[in-house]
A = this chain, B = another copy of it.
Amino acid sequence: MANKVAVFRKEHFNAAHRLHNAAWNEEKNDAVFGKCNNPNFHGHNYDVVVKIVGEPDPQTGYVIDLKMLSDLIKENVLDKFDHKNLNLDIVEFSNLNPTAENIAVVIYTILRNKIDKKLELQIRLYETERNFVEYPVT
């Protein structure tokens, strides 16, 4: 794939969440999730980096117009997640623990349906500067 280039766009959103498994009692939830299990929630400034791989269009020199990609992320991810409670406000997490791993997979699934299938897609999600995840694995 000698002519392919990867392009990246970084966006961010702020959200509350709680790590919790409803199938477990509180004792087990506390043992496994510790202070992340606070029933009153805590929160993060999430940074999301969207990576798109493809061949640049010879007319524009773009793999994808990053302004269009930014708008796509805003409409489909930021407008849905920003200033929200992931557990209470986002239907995808009604039965799914909003760990960084699961949030990345959910964002991938949302964007995969909106982006041309000939372009490869990967999500990197920063929960903090020191804790981050990537999906899928290349």
Contact = CB atoms under 8 A, between A and B. Distances in A.
Copies of this chain present in the complex amount to 6
A131 B9 contact: yes
B43 A6 contact: no
A128 B35 CA distance: 22
Instruction: Name A's interface SS.
Output: mixed
Given A15-B43, A38-B85, A84-B38, A60 B7 contact: no
A111 interface: no
Interface in A81-109: 82-85, 88-89, 96-102, 104-105
Contact of A61 (B4, B10, B67, B97): B97
Which among A42, A82, A138 has the greatest number of chain B C-beta atoms within 10 A?
Answer: A42
A16 B17 CA distance: 8
Interface in A37-88: 38, 40-45, 53, 56, 59-63, 65-67, 82-85, 88
Given A8-B132, A42-B43, 13 more contacts: A1-B136, A2-B136, A7-B100, A8-B131, A14-B128, A36-B83, A40-B88, A40-B89, A41-B41, A42-B85, A56-B99, A63-B101, A63-B133
